[in-house]
Amino acid sequence: MTMTDARRVYTGKQRVTPSEAFVETLVAQGVTDVFGIVGSAYMDAHDLFPLAGIRFISTAHEQNAAHMADGYARATGRHGVCIAQNGPGVTNFVTAIAAAYWAHSPVVAITPESGSLTAGLGGFQETEQLPIFSKITKWQTHVNSPSRIAELTGRAFHYALHERGPTQVNIPRDYFYGEIETEIPRPFPVQRGAGDSAAIKRAAELLASAKFPVIVAGGGVGSAGALAELTALAEHLSAPVVNSYLHNDTFPASHELAAGPLGYQGSQAAMKLIAQADVVLALGSRLGPFGTLPQYGLDYWPKNARIIQIDADFRVIGLVKPVEVGIHGDAKAAAAAIYGELRSLHGERPRNEARIAAIRAARAAWQQELDSLRGANEAGRVDPRRALAELAKARPKNAMVATDIGNVCSVSNSYLQFEEPNSFFAAMAFGNCGYAYPTAIGAKVGRPERPSIAYVGDGAWGMSLAEVLTCVRENIPAIAVVFDNGQWGAEKRNQIDYFNSRFLGTDLANPNFAEVAKAMGGHGITVEHEDQVGSALQEAIASNRPTVINLRLTQALGDPFRRDAFKPPRRLLDKYAAYSAAI
C-alpha cells in the first residue's frame, strides 16, 4: 500500500468499526503525527495508525507528549494531537494542556476512558476525566455512542483550530469496538473578517492623526499569517513595532521599525518608545498583565494613550486595558482594512525620518545598556548574559527556540530575536517548568527542516531530561541547551532579596548532563568557556543528532520576576522572630 492509499479517506456512509471511523477522522483532518504512550484503552485504534500513514511518537511521560503536541501546533499552525491511557495517563496531560490553553495552541487531547458499563464503580484506572480539563480547554466532548465517534472527533478538531485552543475528546474504551454505519466529517475553513467597518474607519482616523503611534504585535499576528499586512501598515505610519510579551517572532527584528519585546526582561527600547505613544494599536494581543507591568524601574505603559485593540477573541478586548476602539476580527484582515482606509484618507505618506531615527537611537542605547550588564566569567563557568549573547550570534536565522521558565531563561528574552513568525515558543502565562524541551521536540517533528533548540534551566531539566530517550528512539535531532548553574535561580533570587539569603531547597547538585545524554544514546557537549558556546551550538546543529549542551554558568542572576508580589517577611510568634525582617 502506498502512502497515497494510506491517506485516502472513504466517502459517503460506510459500515466500519468505531476504531476505523476514529482513525479515518484523524486522516481527514490531516493528522500525520500523534504523541503519547501506548495504552490498552485505545489499542484497537492505535493498531491502525501505520496503515493510515500516522506516525506514533512514543514519549517518556504523558505531560511531555502534550507539550510536544503544543510545540508541533505552534510550529506548523496545524493541530497537535496527544493520546494516552485512561486514568493516570490522561491526568498527566493536565499541566501541558493548561500551557497550551494560554498559548492558544490547537491541541486535540484524545482521552480514552474506563468502560461505559462499569462507570462509577471505582474500577482500575477510573476517574472522571472531563471535569479535570473543564477550565483549560476551549471545548470538550464525551463520545456517548460509538456511532458518533467520527462526528464528535471531527468537531473537536474544528473548534481547536478555529477557536485557537485545546479541545478534549473523551471516549469510553469499549466504544472503539463493534460495527457502525457512519460518514467521515471533512474539515472546512471558516474565514474571519476584518471586523466592524465603522470601527475600522475610526481606528484609521485615530492612527492618521496620531503624533506618535505604536503598534503592539501580538501572537495573533503569527497565527493569522498577518506579517505582510502588519509590515505594510507599520511602514505607512512609520510606527515603531513592539512585540507583545514572549512573542518576539511577530515582527522581523532586523526591520528598521522593530523595537523588541515588552514585558519581563524585554527591550528597554520598546518600553521607552511605547511610553511616548498617543495611540497604541494592539494587533492580535490580549495585552496580558505581564506584558504591561513596569520593568527596569520603568512604568512604561502610556497612561493617556488611546488604545485600538484587535483580537479574534472578543472576550479579551478591553479586558486588561481600557480601549478607545475594540475590533473583533482577524489580525490579517483587520490590518489590511485599516491600511486601505489610511490610504484612502491621504494616499501614501512620506517616511517620518525623525521617528525612524528615534527608533534607531533607542535600539542603539538599549544594546549598549545590554552589553554593560554582562558579568565576569569564572573558572570553568560562563556569565549567563555572555552565554546568551554568544548563543544569539551562533543561532541560524531559521532556528526555532523554546524557552522554559526560570531566571536565565527569562533573561534570554533580551537576546532572542527572530525574522519569521512561528519561531519562538515560550511557556507563556502558565509558566510551567519542564516546558521547553518537549515543545522543541514537537516543533522539530512538525518542521524537520528547521533547527529546534530548547533553553532549559538545570532545575527544569530534571522534569524533561527523560525525553532524550524519546529523541534517540525516534531519531528526532532536537537540541537542549541546559543552563547548569546549580540552582533554582528564580526562587533563589527571591531568597536573596526577601529572605536574607536563606537558601532552602534552591541549591542543586548536578551530574554532567552531557554525559547523561551520552549514556542515553544521544550526543553531549560540555561547555565551560565563553569561546566554546557558539561552536557548541553549531556542532549540535551539524551533528543532526539529539544533543544536550551542558552549559556551565556562574550563579549571576537577573532581576526577580515578581517583585510586586512580595513583602518583607513579618513573623508574630517568638520562635520565628529570627526570620522576621526589620520594619
Question: How confident is the model over 451-461, as pLDDT tens digits?
Answer: 999 999 999 99
Question: Mean pLDDT, to the nearest integer, of 508-519?
Answer: 97
Judge whether residue 296 has pLDDT over 70: yes
Residue 234, C-beta contacts closer than 8 angstroms, at least 6 positions apart? 215, 241, 251, 257
Q: Give the whole-angstrom CA distance, residue 129 versus residue 90.
A: 8
- Is residue 404 very low, low, confident or very high in pLDDT (cuts 50, 70, 90)? very high
Examine the pLDDT at 514 and tell me if it is beyond 90.
yes
Lowest mean per-residue pLDDT among 30-39, 101-110, 316-325, 492-501: 492-501
**Residue matched to cell numbers 480601549:** 323
Is the confidence at residue 23, as pLDDT, over 80? yes
The torsion angle over the Cα atoms of residues 251, 255, 257 and 262, rounded to 10 degrees, is 40
* 351: amino acid identity, one letter: R
Rg (CA), the chain: 25
Residue 259 host element (H or E): strand 258-261
Whole-angstrom distance, CA of residue 111 vs CA of residue 549: 35
pLDDT score at 121: 78
Tally: H helices and E strands in the chain: 22, 20
pLDDT of 142 > 60? The answer is yes
Question: Which H or E run includes 160?
Answer: helix 149-162
Q: How many Å apart are CA 126 and CA 119, to the nearest integer?
A: 8
Determine the pLDDT at residue 581.
83
pLDDT at 1: 62
Q: How confident is the model at residue 226 (pLDDT cuts 50, 70, 90)?
A: very high
Does the pTM exceed 0.85?
A: yes
- Residue 540 pLDDT > 90, yes or no? yes
pLDDT value at residue 126: 83
Q: Which CA distances in Å does 176 have to 128, 185, 478? A: 19, 18, 34
Mean pLDDT over 391-415 rounds to 96
Query: Is residue 563 over pLDDT 80?
Result: no
Give mean pLDDT, residues 344-356. Answer: 92
Q: How far is CA 490 from CA 426, 456, 506, in A?
A: 16, 13, 9
> Does the pLDDT at position 565 exceed 90?
no
User: Would the pLDDT of 396 be above 90?
Assistant: yes
Q: What is the mean pLDDT of residues 471-500?
A: 94
Query: Which pLDDT score, from 0 to 100, does residue 429 have?
Result: 85
Reported as a pLDDT band with limits 50, 70 and 90, residue 116 is: confident
Checking if the pLDDT of 213 tops 70, the result is yes
Report how far residue 56's alpha carbon sits from residue 61's, in angstroms, rounded to the nearest whole number. Answer: 14
Residues 6+ apart with CB under 8 A from 201: 341
For residue 567, the model assigns a pLDDT of 86
3-state secondary structure of 431: coil
pLDDT band at 7 (very low <50, low <70, confident <90, very high): confident
Distance CA 272, CA 277 (A): 9
> In which band, very low, low, confident or very high, does the pLDDT at 583 lie, cut at 50, 70 and 90?
low
